[in-house]
Every structure is written in structure tokens, then in C-alpha cells.
Amino acid sequence: MKVKIIKLDDFGRGIAYLNDKICFIENTLPNEEVEIKITRETKKFLEAEVINYLKKSPKRNEDICPYFSTCGGCNLFHLNFREENDYKKVKVKNLIEKFSNLKKDIVKEIYFHEEKNYRNKITLHGKNKKLGLYKKGSNEIVEITECLLVNEKINTIIKELNQANIDIQEAIIKTSNDEKFSILKITGEVNDISKLKKIVDVLIINDKLISQQDTIITQIGSKKYHESADSFFQVNQTLTKNLYDAVLNKTKEIKPQKVLDLYCGTGTIGIYVSDYCQEIVGIDYSKSNIADANKNKELNNVKNIKFICDKVENRITDFKDINVVIVDPPRAGLDSKTRKNLLRINSDTIIYISCDPVTLVRDINELSIDYEVESIVLYNMFPRTHHVENVCILNKK
């Protein structure tokens, strides 16, 4: 069965039409002609895989990861990097136009850096002595010796883990942004921890701390941060500073008295902008995040910030007289209670950092009762995947 790819969907899959029914085909690009095999059929759509490429796009990247066709870690390695950035910018513009009253030109720019070796974290899964990443759409293990998305320090640790593996079910590897320090947390069994102790700074096996230290320190701009195995930290080791600088520059412009930092993680953004605020309160539900946040407060000698360990929706009703609200929610975006209370708080500015443009647009629509969007700037924090980070500035009308 032969089809022509019309465009890419929001998840990076090629779109073709068979008998007026939409068909999603991975690893294809617009204007390519391919021979396909149907793998799934529903009343509304089809899914297919490529059997043969009859006509390839000049935008196709042939220098791809050897695991790309099976591993579920990334889905845009077949598209050249310049086109990937254009695709993400157009995608967000189209979502803005389709689901809001905003115009496309509110999306100002997309920033990017490396297309490979940018990640400071990976989670590996193991079964039957195989260690790697999950196959697309399943829990089957794709055994790997390296990953092109992570930094070289992590790839060195992956090679040692493959040698040490007896029965590893999961391994979390994290490094500082400069790759000098590293964390390895293993669930399962290994045959020789002495080699692992030599190449990592924090080693945890089956929740038991093997090393003397339990955190590493990483730096973003002028600030330093403790990072533990279980706490959240931005995975892009270079572009994170650019994103934080955008928040910093807006904060410097306003010089707010009171700032509310929602979904604050380990306190990185609040601490990053603390020199230009009178008072900051950060909220996050993760005990590990808040423990690191308080360590980071001490590490940077920040006196004007405090942290609350709780769900945002449980504490949002406590606040008023806030000048700036910074939100960095998970992919689900803001819950309805939080959106309503942001309107009640009525701060001068909301700085919304989003990893999902769909939920961002939904939340903007409700907040637009009292706020207008100044700009949306994109950051390609996750190259070779369909994900893109967004920083939206909303000002009170």
C-alpha cells in the first residue's frame, strides 16, 4: 500500500489519508512517498509502519541513533535539526491560533543549543540481564550501550553498568551540568560495586546509601544547587540557563516585593531570581525536592525565600498581595482550583513555564479574563523528541 505524507502531527508522526481516514506513520516526513503496513485500525484513525521508502525528503537526517527504530526515547532523529526547531515553532503557533484568541506572532522565538549529548539524566530499565530503554509502546527492553541524547559522563557509566549487571531492574543516572559529579541509584543486583564507587560520587543501591555523600552540586549562572537522586532538576545542561535568564530578566524589570513560586522543585528558579525580590515563597509536594530546596537556600545564603512542602492546590488559597507568580507545572498544567485562585490573587505578572503547549493554551484561555499575553518564547530543551518548553509572560490588564 503506497501513500504520500502530507504533514507531521503534534507528536512528530507523519500523516497520510487512506479512504478519507487519517493514518499516522512514524519515521516519515512531509512529501515522502512510502509503502506501508497497517498496524492498528479504529473507527476514527489508522496507524501504520513503513515497509519501504519510495521517495525520501531532502530534510531527512540519515545519521541517526542505531536504536531509533525500536527505542521509545526519541522520535525526531530522522528530521534535520534546523527543521526540527521550525516544526516546533510552527506547531505551537498553530495550537495558539486554533485554541485561543491570540495571534500566531505572539510566539516570538525558539532558542536551541546542542542536538545531542545534552541530557544530564537518564533512567534505564532492566529485565533478564538486559539493561536499556523501553521499546516504543511496550515494557520490552531495548538493550543499549550508549544513548546519543545524554552526556559522555553518563554514557561511561552506562558501559560500566552493563559490565556490572546481574539483575538490575532500574538505574537512575544523573550528573552535574559540567559533568564533574554524578549520581547512580540502582534497584537490583550488581556484581562489583568497587568499580562503580570509583566512577560516581553518589551511589545508592536498593535505597541504601553506599557513598559518603548523598547529593552532588551543579551550577546555573551564579547560583549553585544541591541535587539528589530523587529530586527534580532540568535535564538540559546548557539551555536551562537561557530559560532561567528569561525569568530573571523579567523579574529584574519588575523588582517585585512578593513572589509566589509554584511547583518550585528544588527551588532553582526562586533562588535564581532572589537578588531582585523582597520575599519569595516556593511550594512543591515532593519531600525530596523541598529538602534539596532548603539545602540550596543555605548553599547560596539566600535569606528572603521559604519553602512549603504541600500540593499547590492545598495552599494556593492562603495567598494574597502577590506581585509576581511563577508557575512551572507538570504536563497536566494548572488544575482548575489553582487557575481560579491565580485570578483571585490578581498579581501584576504571571510567568508561566510550560512543557506542554496544549495545557498552556487551555490555562491561558481561562486566565485571559484578567490577563493579556505579552509573549511566548520557546526553548528546545528536548531535541530529537516532539516536546518543547514554553515561557509565557502574562500581564494584568
Report d(CA 155, CA 149) in Å as an integer.
Answer: 10
Residue burial 362-389, b: 16+ Cβ < 10 Å; e: rest: bbbeebeeebebebbbbbbbbbbbbbbb
Bridge partner list, 219:
224
**Three-class secondary structure of residue 380 per DSSP:** coil
Q: DSSP H helical segments within 105-180, as ranges?
A: 152-164
The H-or-E segment that residue 297 falls in is helix 287-299
Residues near 314 by beta carbon (within 8 Å), at least 6 away in sequence: none
Listed as own residue / partner, the contacts of 99-107 with beta carbons closer than 8 Å and 24 or more positions apart are: 99/358, 99/361, 99/362, 99/365, 100/361, 100/364, 100/365, 100/368, 101/365, 101/368, 102/364, 102/373, 106/373, 106/375, 106/376, 107/376, 107/377, 107/378
Q: Is position 355 annotated as part of the catalytic site? A: yes
Strands (E), 249-365: 258-262, 279-284, 305-309, 324-327, 349-354
Report d(CA 63, CA 299) in Å as an integer.
Answer: 43
Number of H helices, E strands in the chain: 9, 23
**155 φ/ψ angles, rounded to the nearest 5 degrees:** -65, -35
Residue type, 180: K
* C-alpha count within 13 angstroms, C-beta hemisphere, residue 119: 20
Find the catalytic residue in 71, 264, 355, 392: 355
Report d(CA 164, CA 168) in Å as an integer.
Answer: 9
The set of catalytic residues is 355
